[in-house]
Structure 1
Amino acid sequence: MSERIHASYFIETPYPVEQAIDVMAGEQSSGTFTRLASETDDLRANHGAVVEHIERLDSVDVPSLPIRPPKARDGTPLYQRAKVTLSWPMANFGPSLPNLLSTVAGNLFELKEFSALKLLDLTLPTDFARRYPSPQFGIAGTRQLSGVPDRPLIGTIIKPSVGLSPQATAETVRQLVEGGIDFIKDDELQSNGPHNPLKSRVDAVMPIIREHAERTGRQVMYAFNITGDIDEMIENHDYVAAAGGTCVMVAIQSVGLSGVAHLRRHCRLALHGHRAGWGLFSRSPYIGMSYIAYQKLWRLAGVDHLHVNGLRNKFTEDDASVIASARSCLTPMFDPPTPGCEVMPVFSSGQTADQAVDTYQAIGSTDLIFCAGGGIMAHPGGIGAGVRSLRQAWDAAVAGITLDDHAIDHPELAQALEAFR
């Protein structure tokens, strides 16, 4: 295990930069707040974190996050910003995702030396790819399961989020499959509650999906939310599989890396990863984790799809961040011949036909799931017209035609643009 893990960070500190980073490296490897006799030079050489690179940035007069005031020095302290890369030997913890997370995103966020600290990226040895299951279906498998060979999968989310009975859910599904939808998912808030138990929902929904598949030759992919305790998830996964389902969904942050990896090793269906809680890591530019680093952990754990938000979304994330997130899902993690673990990005959150062209121009790929709730359900022409409007918008995007020009001969798209712009 001679390869090393590399992690890059954005930092801000009122202390000398090299001093602060040395504290960070020691805290996350062999050191503590003072040098111990047992921390020999050989031990530090074999197990200490190494500062690989420092790039000084600007400085500010006011700390970006609350910080214990440093000891008084001459003048007003400046808070120096920098990008830094640290590395660790694999011998410290081996190819273990939980212990990797404890190392690269653990106690370092609490160190008194820093008024900002954010994990930006990770580079991992191929031992991780050999240890963890990685995506089972990914992009190609999702296309095969859904019968959509080349265009984006047009999807939606069952709404209201909670409160619908299994029968009411099934009636919505009936309208969606008849309207030509490719992908349907439960909301992250709807898993196995007493008003709509998972098994009852499967029993109500799957006959509609199976009948549609028998009639058309193409099965709509429904991502049943099985988020729960591990034994419960395994049992409910098996129930979905026995009913002929092709996909299950988990709220990855709620289940955790070990939970997702355990489920993936058992899983026979596509695994849809919902990032509920992601804002806890991303909302502040001064603490947390970038999606570039975050998505690598879940790809190794084995999800096939990952949410990335959407352009002009209803949340706080800006478009540049959304596009960078989507591109990262499509970028291989490892050099050949090791599998690259690419996963299908899922666009959602306030999406309508209006975002299709901009999305395609920004990422240059149709390997994605484009989920619209209101953009389908609230279309003036009904659910089927909402689905058709999204397909028409993506046809225009790929053909290099403006939405307005394409809408001239496509009334569903014209209605969508009038309603949602």
Structure 2
Amino acid sequence: MRAERFRATYLIETPLDPAKVAEVMAGEQSCGTFTRVEGETDALRERARANVLAVERLEEVDHPSLPNAWLARRGIGGPWKRARITLDFPVANVGTNLPTLASIVAGNLFDLGEVTGLRLESIELPPLYRRRFPLPAQGLAGTRRLTGVTEGVLVGSIIKPNVGLTPEETASLVARLCEAGLDFIKDDEISADPDHAPLAQRIPAVMAAVRRHEDRTGKHVMVAFNITDETDAMRRHADLVAREGGSCVMASLNWCGFSAIETLRRGTDLALHGHRNGYGAFSRHALLGIGFQAYQLLWRLAGVDHMHVHGVQGKFAQADEEVISSAQDCVTRLAGEVDDRVMPAFSSGQWAGTAPATFAAIGHTDLLFMAGGGVMAHPGGPAAGVASIREAWEATARGEALEQAALDRPALRQALETFGTR
């Protein structure tokens, strides 16, 4: 790939010639519209135009995936052809401008009259261009350093219930979770700055509990405070977390937007835990939206340090293969030799019993493994829940079956008995 151009790959569906549709896509998102405009010379067009690199024809179908009034007005019907299209674009069309980059690789393409389905699958950037955007302030390596977990998975949990607790009650729960042996604790995505537990009070109360635990044990537990809000409020809350000795904040990426996350990143070196809630609206239709490789790349350019990938054998709709592919995307370097890997955060229905399948698929332990019920609902209490997860990962790394390992490990045995019939 040339250093002055970047690539995007799409899955499309159309009743027209896919090669001609690819040219329409390239023109629409670079120098062209449906006709030439005043002042548009051949030289300008050559400099600014996107190129069609590949058109891979796939299957045909008898029915369109999405309605299309443009085609209906012209009386154009099927069969509908599917194809994978790769375009490249001039870096000079964008500069270091993340919202514009996103609008070029996606934008109006989703509304094109020529298609009855379009999905952005992946983006590939030249390493030098990627380095024009922020690298992770902490990323995978920094998260390990801050938590003191030099190897193995980081074990985390979520504050549940996520609504109704006062600042003092939240701090008491965090103290208990610290004692249980967690590396990481996060707020739930739907609890940010509620009236009953405002961040201005909750952050100092929680961090006092974290500091007491650190003073006693030497262990810093990373707490991801949900500071999702408008930009000025997020910066204010991040500053408070830093003053109180915290190491992480969380934001709901889709609802804050690129500009807010970029501004937050510039204002703090705290680990930024990127929560993807709402991503299903972009991803669940096979012929519409944005695949995770492209999605996570854009948010990594904004400066996040952790990315949610859901979980293997979890409670959400994603197949295990998608979860694992997403985690692999997070630990794929985008900037050449520079380490810009971010921590994949596994969650949603995780417990000790999902460790073997996760390790078998991903093949490493550079991940954050979060369990809500798997910790909080363990019959032996949160400490036993954490112990069961660590025991499961240790056994898995040794190649030992969980049932065998559980024979002399009560916490793991209880987890298998309690959650194994889900």
Partner SS state of residue 332, structure 1: coil
> Are positions 1:161 and 2:151 aligned together?
no
CA distance in 2, matches of 1:129, 1:15: 35
> Are positions 1:401 and 2:400 aligned together?
yes
State the shift of 1:144 in Å. Answer: 1.1
Partner SS state of residue 131, structure 2: helix
CA distance in 2, matches of 1:397, 1:11: 41
Could you give the per-residue CA deviations for residues 157-206 of structure 1, whole angstroms, max 9, x where no partner exists? 11112221111211211211111111000111111121110121112111
Who is 2:15 aligned against?
14
Who is 1:199 aligned against?
200
Please give the root-mean-square deviation of Cα atoms over the aligned residues, in Å: 1.4
Who is 1:133 aligned against?
134
Who is 1:383 aligned against?
382
State the shift of 1:244 in Å. Answer: 0.8
CA distance in 1, matches of 2:55, 2:336: 26
Partner SS state of residue 82, structure 1: strand
State the shift of 1:125 in Å. Answer: 2.7
Contact 1:120-1:290 within 8 A present in 2 as well: yes
1:355-370 mapped onto 2 (5 Å cutoff):
355-370=354-369
Could you give the per-residue CA deviations for residues 393-414 of structure 1, whole angstroms, max 9, x where no partner exists? 1101111111111111111001
Contact 1:31-1:39 within 8 A present in 2 as well: no
Who is 1:315 aligned against?
316
1:249-288 mapped onto 2 (5 Å cutoff):
249-288=250-289
CA distance in 2, matches of 1:185, 1:364: 25
Partner SS state of residue 197, structure 2: coil
Contact 2:388-2:411 within 8 A present in 1 as well: yes
1:108-123 mapped onto 2 (5 Å cutoff):
108-123=109-124
CA distance in 1, matches of 2:162, 2:103: 34
The percentage of counterpart residues that share the same residue type is 51
Who is 2:151 aligned against?
150
Partner SS state of residue 101, structure 1: helix
State the shift of 1:40 in Å. Answer: 2.3
Could you give the per-residue CA deviations for residues 214-273 of structure 1, whole angstroms, max 9, x where no partner exists? 111111110111111111111111111111111111111111112111111111211111
Partner SS state of residue 384, structure 2: helix
State the shift of 1:2 in Å. Answer: 6.2
Q: Select between 359-368 and 128-137 the one with higher mean Cα deviation.
A: 128-137
State the shift of 1:133 in Å. Answer: 1.6
Who is 2:418 aligned against?
419
CA distance in 1, matches of 2:375, 2:121: 35
CA distance in 2, matches of 1:16, 1:128: 33
CA distance in 1, matches of 2:249, 2:405: 36
Amino acid paired to 1:186: D
State the shift of 1:303 in Å. Answer: 1.0
Contact 2:3-2:129 within 8 A present in 1 as well: no
Contact 1:247-1:269 within 8 A present in 2 as well: yes
State the shift of 1:344 in Å. Answer: 0.5
Partner SS state of residue 408, structure 1: helix
1:97-112 mapped onto 2 (5 Å cutoff):
97-112=98-113
1:325-340 mapped onto 2 (5 Å cutoff):
325-336=326-337, 339-340=338-339
Instruction: Output the TM-score relative to the length of structure 2.
Output: 0.96
Runs of 5+ consecutive residues of structure 1 not aligned to the other structure? none
Instruction: Output the TM-score relative to the length of structure 1.
Output: 0.96
Contact 1:309-1:346 within 8 A present in 2 as well: yes
Could you give the per-residue CA deviations for residues 63-95 of structure 1, whole angstroms, max 9, x where no partner exists? 01112235346xx62100010101111121212
CA distance in 1, matches of 2:86, 2:254: 26
Q: Select between 124-133 and 53-62 the one with higher mean Cα deviation.
A: 124-133
State the shift of 1:128 in Å. Answer: 3.7
Amino acid paired to 1:200: Q
